[in-house]
Amino acid sequence: VSAFLWNNGLEQQQLDSLGEVTKRTMRYSQTIGLPTIKYERKRFMANAYGYFQVGQDRSGNDMQAYDASAWVTYTVPMDTTKGSAFRMTLGAEVLSGTAQDATDKVNRSYAPLYGTAHAFNGYMDHFYVDGRWGNSVGLTDIFLRLRYDIDKRTLLSMNLHEFQAAADVIKNGERLDPRLGNEVDLSVVHLLNDVVALQFGYSQLFATGTLEHMEGVTDPAALQNWAYAAVYYRPGMKSRYAGLAF
Among 169, 149, 171, 165, smallest CA distance to 246 is for: 149
What the chain holds in terms of domains, given with CATH numbers, is: 2-233 (2.40.160)
Residues 6+ apart with CB under 8 A from 155: 147, 148, 149, 188, 189
pLDDT at 29: 95
Contact between 53 and 66 under an 8 Å Cβ cutoff? The reply is yes
pLDDT at 156: 97
> Alpha-carbon distance 178 to 134, whole Å?
17
pLDDT at 24: 87
Residues 6+ apart with CB under 8 A from 239: none
pLDDT at 227: 96
pLDDT at 170: 96
pLDDT at 244: 80
Count of positions (residues) in the chain: 246
Residues 6+ apart with CB under 8 A from 61: 105, 106, 107
pLDDT at 55: 96
- Tell me the per-residue pLDDT of 70-95, one tens digit each, with 9 for 90 and over: 999 999 999 988 999 999 999 999 99
> Alpha-carbon distance 190 to 162, whole Å?
28
pLDDT at 75: 97
pLDDT at 117: 66
pLDDT at 245: 73
pLDDT at 157: 96
pLDDT at 20: 87
Among 226, 206, 131, smallest CA distance to 161 is for: 206
Report, as ranges of residue numbers, the positions in the chain whose pLDDT lies below 50.
none
pLDDT at 61: 93
